[in-house]
Structure 1
Amino acid sequence: MFPFRVPYPFVRPDQHSCSVVIKSTDGTFLRDFEDKDDLHIGVTSSKGVLYEYDQRGLTIGPANPSWDQSLVVFKETSQHRFLSWDDALKTVAEHSTWTPSRYCEINFNCYDFVVAFLQNLGGHCDDAISTKAKFIEQCVSPAIAKAFKYIKLYRHVWEDGFYLCGLDS
C-alpha cells in the first residue's frame, strides 16, 4: 500500500476572498468540535476582510486567530461578480440592524447577517437562502458533514497513530 494524503479542509478567511466561512464557536474544529456544537459564520470581501456579526455587533477587519480553522461554505469564483459582492456586503453592513443590542444567540445572530447578505447579493441558490433554516440545511450542513469525516480521521490518527478504513463506523 502506498501512503496517501487527505486534503486539509480548513482555511484562513483572509486567503479566501468573496467567501462565506464558518468556524467552531468555541475552540477549534480539530481539537474541540462535536457535531452538535455551535458554529459562527462570516463573509469575506474581495480583499479577504472578514465581516462577522455577534454579541459585539457587526465587526469588520482581519480575522483573529480563532478563524484559522474555518470552512468555506460558499465561494464566489467569477471575478466579474467581485464588485457586486463587495457592493452587497457594504449595503448590508451599513444597515442599522447589526447592533449589539439586537443580537440574540437564538433568534437574531450571525446566520441572519449572512443570509441577509446573500439575499441582497441575489443570483445564488435563491431557494437555499430563502430562510435561515434552509441555508443551514442546504449549505452549512453538507460542509460540516464533509469536515467531520476529516476530523474523525484526524482524531483516530492522533490518538492511535493510525486509522484502518472500514473498521470504524
Structure 2
Amino acid sequence: MDKSVIKFNHCHKDIFCFFVPDQCPECGVSFSGKRLEEAPVSIPNPFSNGHKVPCAFLVASTEDNVLRDFDGRSDLHTGITNTNGIVYNYTKAGVQREHQGWERCICVPLVQPDMFSLMSQWDQYLEKFSSAQMWDPLWQSFNEETHNCYSYTLTFINCVLATQSKRALSKDEFTQSFVLPRIKRASKYMMLCREISQNHFYIVDSPRRNSQESPSEDEDSKSN
C-alpha cells in the first residue's frame, strides 16, 4: 500500500496503475520507444503519518485491513496531536496519549505556521482540556452517540477557537467543511488501490473524450 498510484491517458482512456506498462492494457499498442501523449501524473496519497503532523485533527480507521479503510463499512476514530506528534484521543478508558498507532490517517492541520502564540500554548491547552472531569470515565461514561472521540476532538477545537475570539463550529459544519471532503478523497483513493491490486489497472473513459463528443451530439440533435 506504499506504492504510488499514477494515471496516464491513452486511446481515450484514463488508466490508473502502480507503474506504466510496456504496452497499453486497453488497445495493446506497445509503448517501447514511444512517448505518451501526456506525461503520467501521480495521484496524491490522502494519508499521512499523524505523529509527524503537529497540532492537527486526525481520522483513522480501526480496521486492520488497510484495503477496508474508509470504505464506509469500517469504524473511524479521531484524535488531536500535540506539538510533538503525540495523539490525544478519547476512548471508553478515558483520554489516551499515544506515541504510535496513527501512522496512516487523514490529517486536518489546525494551526497556521505563523500562529506562534497559539502553537506555544497548544500543549498546555490540550493537556488541561484532556484532564478535565468530563473526560474522566469515573465521572462521565463514554457514549457512542453523544460523548465519544468525535465530541472530544470537536469540543477541544471549539475551546481553541474561543481563545482566538472566533465562533464555535457545529458538528455538521466541521464535518461537511473539513472531514467529509477528505474522507471522500481517501475512499476514492482506496477504491483505486483495490482495483489495481486485483486487476493491475483501473480503466475509465477519459472525461476529455466525453467533452469532445458532446458538441457533435448536440449538433446531431439539432439537425434532427
Larger Rg: 2
**Equivalent of 1:157 in 171, 184, 196:** 196
Determine the C-alpha separation between the residues in 2 that align with 1:155 and 1:24: 16
**Equivalent of 1:97 in 122, 134, 152:** 134
- Identify which range, 158-167 or 108-117, moves more after superposition: 158-167
Deviations 1:104-152 (A, max 9, x none): 112210011111111111149845x2x3233222221111011112111
Determine the C-alpha separation between the residues in 2 that align with 1:72 and 1:20: 6
Structure 1: tracts of 5 or more residues without a match: none
**1:96 Cα deviation (Å)?**
1.2
**Residue 109 of structure 2 is aligned to residue 74 of structure 1:** yes
Instruction: Check the 8 A contact 1:92/1:116 in 2, yes or no.
Output: no
**Residue 79 of structure 2 is aligned to residue 42 of structure 1:** yes
Determine the C-alpha separation between the residues in 2 that align with 1:141 and 1:91: 29
Q: What SS does structure 2 have at the residue aligned with 1:77?
A: coil
Q: Which residue of 1 aligns with 2:120?
A: 83
Q: What SS does structure 1 have at the residue aligned with 2:112?
A: coil
Gap change, CA 1:137 and 1:124, over 3 Å in 2 = farther
**Residue 150 of structure 2 is aligned to residue 111 of structure 1:** yes
Q: Which amino acid aligns with 1:31?
A: L
**Residue 41 of structure 2 is aligned to residue 4 of structure 1:** yes
- Identify which range, 81-90 or 54-63, moves more after superposition: 81-90
Q: What SS does structure 1 have at the residue aligned with 2:182?
A: helix
Gap change, CA 1:76 and 1:83, over 3 Å in 2 = same
Deviations 1:80-120 (A, max 9, x none): 03123223212211201113351111221001111111111
Instruction: Check the 8 A contact 1:22/1:72 in 2, yes or no.
Output: yes
Q: Which amino acid aligns with 2:103?
A: D
TM-score (norm 1): 0.84
Determine the C-alpha separation between the residues in 1 that align with 2:98 and 2:104: 17
**Residue 98 of structure 2 is aligned to residue 54 of structure 1:** no
Q: Which residue of 1 aligns with 2:61?
A: 24
Determine the C-alpha separation between the residues in 1 that align with 2:92 and 2:136: 8
Q: Which amino acid aligns with 1:71?
A: I
Gap change, CA 1:125 and 1:7, over 3 Å in 2 = farther
Deviations 1:41-62 (A, max 9, x none): 0000011111000112101131
Determine the C-alpha separation between the residues in 2 that align with 1:73 and 1:117: 14
Give the % identical residues: 25
Gap change, CA 1:91 and 1:166, over 3 Å in 2 = farther
